[in-house]
Amino acid sequence: MPICVHCAYPAKHLYTTYKTKSNIRLGVCPRCDRFLDPLIEHDPLILLLDLILLKPRVFLHLLFNRGTDPLDATAPPSPSAEEMSKDRRKTRIQEDVMILFGMVVLAETVSRVIPLDSSTFSSCLKIMCAVVCETAAQHTVTLGCALLVLRWRGWYPPRGSLQGVTDGRRVDFIPWLIPLTLLYTSLLPLLLQLFLSIWHSPPDPAFTPPAWDTFVDSLPFDISQHPYIRQIAMELADVWSKADRLWLGTRLLGGMSAGFGLRVLLPTRPCETTAIVLAGWAAAAFAARAMEGVLGA
């Protein structure tokens, strides 16, 4: 069942077609009195720009409305059409998850391979295996945590009948939408990482910032009296100077995008969404460590 992209009100059809398929009439939301989904007439490029700008309406359009059947004014309504439409939607969402998962794995692998001058086929394959395991671990843990929170809140699986529920996200929710949302939100950080990695050179582990001692000594307060504070400051500076800031920046952007996408899809509080995203990150980091040990990737 499609929904209004402004207020998530459930609707039977987004638009009506008449004798000619190009002659359509957009449906109006009974709650907010706006067109249910004006994005059905937009080009894929506009949708991509909306996705990059993290507009909530594009998430609702892609997750719930894309490919839904219109009301045909020239044909009588069929009772089995709704069930067939539900099955088709589920199949389409599963296909989207598989395709996007492949794209994300490929982009992440390429972005990791590009800085390596001496990359061989076997090393590329190892990196790809590691990326598949990290991404799968992140998605599995994020999905599990999100479903636990939704069960605890009684949102999904629903307690009692959904008759009269006016939140279309809940009426038509399936767990596959969670990994699909994560994949949509990971596209922008990955593309950014992919493009920037062409010009980016990884930090030299042997590099030591020469100006740091001078900087510490030039502070208006003297921290030499507190050797522990000075030691911590030096350690932090060392970690920061050797960190891959491109990786950190894109990961931070990815986390924020994922949190935003999940907030559009789910009724969770900001702290719950943050915890769900962090759990997924922790799982990916754990899987990365495990794969380093197994493959030496």
Binding-site ranges for Zn ion (CB under 5 A): 4, 6-7, 9, 29, 31-32
| Min dist. Cβ of residue 80 to Zn ion (A) | 28
| Min dist. Cβ of residue 259 to Zn ion (A) | 24
Cis peptide before 38 (omega within 30 of 0): no
| Min dist. Cβ of residue 18 to Zn ion (A) | 24
Task: Look at the alpha carbons of 78, 21, 36, 8 in this order and tell me if their dihedral is positive or negative.
Answer: positive
Nearer to Zn ion, 4 or 51 (CB): 4
Nearer to Zn ion, 11 or 190 (CB): 11
Cα distance between residue 263 and residue 273, in whole Å: 7
| Min dist. Cβ of residue 56 to Zn ion (A) | 12
Nearer to Zn ion, 8 or 190 (CB): 8
SS3 category, 279: helix
| Residue 10 main-chain phi, psi, to 5 deg | -75, 140
| Min dist. Cβ of residue 180 to Zn ion (A) | 22
Nearer to Zn ion, 31 or 245 (CB): 31
* Contact in structure between 196 and 246 (CB atoms under 8 Å): yes
The letter for the amino acid at 95 is E
Nearer to Zn ion, 32 or 243 (CB): 32
Residues 6+ apart with CB under 8 A from 287: 130, 133, 134, 136, 137, 138
Supply 124's token pair: 């590329």
Cα distance between residue 63 and residue 55, in whole Å: 13
